[in-house]
Amino acid sequence: MSANNLRFPPPRLPDEVAELRAELRAFLAESSAAEPWLPNSDFGAGFSPEFSRKIADKGWIGMTWPKHYGGGERSHLERYVVTEELLAAGAPVFAHWIADRQSGPLLLRFGSQSQRAELLPRIAAGECFFSIGMSEPDSGSDLASVRTRAERTAHGWRLNGAKVWTSNAHLNHYMITLCRTGDAGEDRHGGLSQFLIDLRQDGVTINPIVNMLGAHEFNEVVFDNVEIPLDRLIGQEGEGWRQVTSELAYERSGPERFLSNFHIFQALVDEIGPAPDARQAEALGRLTARLWTLRRMSLSVAAMLQAGESPDVEAAIVKELGNKFEREVVETARAVLPVQPTITAGGNSADFPAMLAEALLRLPSFTLRGGTTEIMRSIIARGLGLR
């Protein structure tokens, strides 16, 4: 690809999404009234298996998958609408989020028939949740430097190493982890493979990593001579880089990459009110224009996925610009509104000063999700033939 070939074709949402969006909003209003949640400074209000099962009952998990795997055979654009409405409502989506967004699609594309038959229907039913096992101590998001190793044994694989920043590994059922199974080769990307890890049965050690808000979301997952069966390999041995790169396209292009702190922006508009001064009006106008542009670009990537394309570079651009926008929302709020951020015990508050304080502490993690800024810029540069 060159810069001349880079494109974001204008997306067109199908007519049926209007009815779907209305159904979603009615469902979310009813759910929020029955079991209230507080939209906060992150894209979801927490980990709720009960809420995820309700979403599954509506057919909103695994929407694009084949029906014989529990899916709905609907379009990526319809799924985009569901994602967008859940994020806008600040719903408690963390339980099913990873499995629906990228673990399931990865298994559908590269998994064995037995892996697909066993796990996809459970994911679509909101009964099986996944973590991501990519980042490692001392290597961050530089996936090519993965040191966790998987060695063949007489009966399967033996794993040694550790993964960090593993969201909700202490609550989820499985993790898909990237391991070194051979030499890296000249381009550093060879000799990598992906494995399915049973977080509750395989004997891994899960250590909590408490974030700056005092919350336990991240974990360190340690493999100390962990033995797993031969059939836990996902796809082909040594093809892990190609597989994980395609997996990340699902993660990097979605609206959660620029809507993480949407409720900060929403609260900022409410706090300023109907009569902003000139500086506030200019700031809100600029943020709104960028939000709308990012949405169009993200929708375009969803349309390319629907067409069977692999828009890895376009997805990396959305992620990079989306993270920049998220930082700008917080910085703008502090610049145009004289509010003292005030942290509250327990976090997750709908109060604007508290949301702003939480956002300041969460902000560093936004660029880590799905790959750091440096990794995104490297992918973009390589994709455009600039390095």
Active site residues: 251
What would the DSSP string read from start to end of 281-318?
Answer: HHHHHHHHHHHHHHHHHHHHHHHHHHTT---HHHHHHH
- Asked if residues 315 and 302 have their Cβ atoms less than 8 Å apart, the reply is no
Tokens representing 274 are: 């109907």
- Asked if residues 22 and 29 have their Cβ atoms less than 8 Å apart, the reply is no
| Eight-class DSSP state of 231 | G
| Eight-class DSSP state of 288 | H
> Could you give phi then psi for residue 234, rounded to 5 degrees?
-105, 125
Tokens representing 21 are: 């969006």
- Asked if residues 157 and 191 have their Cβ atoms less than 8 Å apart, the reply is no
d(CA 194, CA 143): 12
Residues 6+ apart with CB under 8 A from 38: 45, 90, 348, 349, 350
